[in-house]
Amino acid sequence: MSNPVYRRVVLKLSGEILAGEQSFGIENNSVSRLVREVKSINNLGIGLGIIIGAGNIFRGIKLSAQGMDRVTGDNLGMLGTVINAIAFQQALSQAGCSATAMSAVNISRIIEPYVRNQALELMNKREIVIIAGGTGNPYFTTDSAAALRAAELKAEVVLKGTKVDGVYDKDPVIHPDAKKYSEITFSKVISDNLRVMDLTAMTLCKENSIPIIVFNIHKQGALKKVVLGEPIGTIVRE
């Protein structure tokens, strides 16, 4: 197969992926590997939006559990996504990819504000759009932001790149007999609390008929295989 089965996608990446073997920050080798993966599908001519978390810098829920005000913690997390988006945009540009970073949190002197119509126009021109700042509001995760942007930007699918190769009925790290699903419904994910994405994100995708594909982003070539329609990972749809 050489033709993509999806023409417009939103890719959700965790901040931890940028940290690599480090527990904090941005690790150059990990960023370079991700750039190669993203470039491989950008060359196919698809419209690509990317949402990156900030777990490698700040995690609002964790900070609030330690006594910090939840809104303050989430605001720090949103700023962390801006750092990651700008860093990744620069890495993509240096690799010859046309990429723009935007933020739902207005910091116009540092990063362009997210404007839906502008993002759509850029994606139509096959420019990579990296959207930071989550939804722009506290109490919402970057999973919810990925689902929201996918709906706004008319994406055909949300691709969730993780460190596991799909959705299991229980934690495969703890349970060797864990069963992997090749396909599963939104309803079962929600009823079994399988934690593919948070409930808000799952509901948004379900209501807008946007499937989610969970796959191992660490496997070389996996992202391209997903876009080409090869049966890897787990697809969540109704």
CA atoms within 13 A on the CB side of 123: 25
- pLDDT at residue 195, rounded to an integer: 87
CA dist., res. 180 & res. 177, Å (int) = 9
- pLDDT at residue 63, rounded to an integer: 64
Residue 186 lies in a domain: yes
pLDDT in tens, the chain (238 residues): 579 999 999 999 999 999 988 878 999 999 999 999 999 999 999 999 999 999 998 765 566 567 888 898 899 999 999 999 999 999 999 999 999 999 999 999 999 999 999 999 999 999 999 999 999 999 999 999 999 999 999 999 999 999 999 999 998 989 999 999 999 999 999 999 998 999 999 999 999 999 999 999 999 999 999 999 999 999 999 8
CA dist., res. 202 & res. 143, Å (int) = 9
∠ at Cα 11 (204, 73), nearest 5°? 70
CA dist., res. 74 & res. 87, Å (int) = 20
- pLDDT at residue 61, rounded to an integer: 58
User: Locate tokens 């900030």: which residue?
Assistant: 54
Residue 1 lies in a domain: no
Residue 144 to residues 19, 95, 148, Cα–Cα distance (Å): 22, 29, 6
CATH of the domain at 153: 3.40.1160.10
Alpha helices in 43-166 (DSSP H): 60-65, 70-94, 116-124, 142-152
- pLDDT at residue 166, rounded to an integer: 96
Q: Tell me if 104 sits within 8 A of 133, measured CB to CB.
A: yes
Residue type, 8: R
Residue type, 211: P
CA dist., res. 13 & res. 86, Å (int) = 14
Residue 2 lies in a domain: no
Give the number of other CB atoms < 10 A from CB of residue 187.
12
Phi/psi for 206 (5° steps) reads -65, -45
User: Locate tokens 């904090």: which residue?
Assistant: 24
Radius of gyration of the chain (CA): 17
CA dist., res. 156 & res. 150, Å (int) = 8
Q: How many domains does the chain have?
A: 1
Q: Tell me if 92 sits within 8 A of 145, measured CB to CB.
A: no
Read off the pTM: 0.94
Q: What is the residue range of 178's domain?
A: 8-236
Residue 158 lies in a domain: yes
CA dist., res. 197 & res. 147, Å (int) = 9
